[in-house]
Every structure is written in structure tokens, then in C-alpha cells.
């Protein structure tokens, strides 16, 4: 389908999940992962206020750069690495097709 992308998510047990999602519904990466029953909680609903959607980006996809809210939250979160992102701040677009992410440990 035209507006459908596929990406992979590695959960905390190392299991790989192939996830499909539409790019024309204004979803974020967090929302589609949460709706796919992955352990990405998105407690604050997607406001970069809780870091419960923290993931590591494994592939070298060009992603939108971090906004000040995401920078601030990541500065307080645990287990932060160079490739850390809050998936609630990444809109689901064609550019994400084939992306690979790993869910960060629970904090």
C-alpha cells in the first residue's frame, strides 16, 4: 500500500517485531508501537514528559532533529545513549520505512 510503511522493533527480550503503520493518519512512532501491543507505554500521551517511549535508533535513517522538549526530557531520563530518541516525538512518515529501533530498559 502507498501510505503504509514497515519498520522493526526489538523488544527488551531481544525479540524482533515487524510493525506496519499508515503515514497519513498523523501517528507518532510511539502511538503505532503502543497500538501494536509493544511495551512502549507513552504514559504522558506523547508530550515528551515521561520518557516511557524511550528507544535507541539502530539504523541510519534521517530523522527529524530533537526539539527542546525532547532534549530536556532525555537529559533527565535513565539509560540515555547517543542514539536515544523519544518515539512520541517522531512522526510516522515514508522516511521511516525500514527503520530499526530497540526499546530502552524500563526506568
Partner 1 sequence: MIQTDILIIGAGPTGLFAVFEAGLLKLRCHLIDSLPQPGGQCAEIYPKKPIYDIPAQPEILAGDLIDNLMQQIAPFEPGFTLGEQAETIEKTAEGHFIVTTDKGTQHQAPVIAIAGGLGTFTPRKPELNNLAFYENKGVDYMIKAPEKYRNKNVLIAGGGDSALDWTIYLAEIAASVTLVHRRSEFRGALDSVDKIQVLKDQGKINIIAPAEVTALKGQSQLESVTINCEGVEQHLATDYFIPLFGLTPKLGPIAQWGLTLEKNAIKVDNSLDYQTNIPGIYAIGDVNTYPGKLKLILCGFHEATLMCQSAFQRIYPNKRNILKYTTVSGVEGFDGSKKEAPKSIIKKIQ
Which positions lie near partner 1, rule CB under 8 A?
37, 41, 43-45, 47, 49-52, 68-69, 71-73, 75-76, 78, 107
Nearer to partner 1, 2 or 82 (CB): 82
Name the minimum Å distance from CB 76 to partner 1.
5
Name the minimum Å distance from CB 82 to partner 1.
15
Cα 67 to its chain centre, rounded Å, is 15
Residues 6+ apart with CB under 8 A from 33: 9, 19, 40, 53, 87
Enumerate the β-bridge partners of residue 101.
Answer: 9, 57
Q: How far apart are CA 48 and CA 28, in angstroms?
A: 12
Nearer to partner 1, 9 or 51 (CB): 51
Nearer to partner 1, 74 or 96 (CB): 74
Name the minimum Å distance from CB 107 to partner 1.
6
Nearer to partner 1, 29 or 48 (CB): 48
Residues 6+ apart with CB under 8 A from 56: 81, 83, 84, 85, 101, 102, 104
Amino acid at each position: 500500500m502507498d501510505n503504509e510503511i514497515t519498520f522493526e522493533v526489538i523488544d527488551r527480550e531481544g525479540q524482533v517485531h515487524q510493525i506496519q503503520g499508515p503515514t497519513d493518519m498523523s501517528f507518532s512512532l510511539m502511538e503505532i508501537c503502543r497500538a501494536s501491543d509493544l511495551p512502549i507505554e507513552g504514559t504522558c500521551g506523547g508530550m515528551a514528559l515521561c520518557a516511557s517511549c524511550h528507544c535507541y535508533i539502530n539504523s541510519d535513517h534521517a530523522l527529524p532533529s530533537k526539539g527542546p522538549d525532547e532534549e530536556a526530557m532525555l537529559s533527565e531520563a535513565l539509560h540515555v545513549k547517543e542514539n536515544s530518541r523519544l518515539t512520541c516525538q517522531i512522526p510516522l512518515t515514508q522516511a521511516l520505512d525500514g527503520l530499526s529501533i530497540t526499546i530502552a530498559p524500563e526506568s
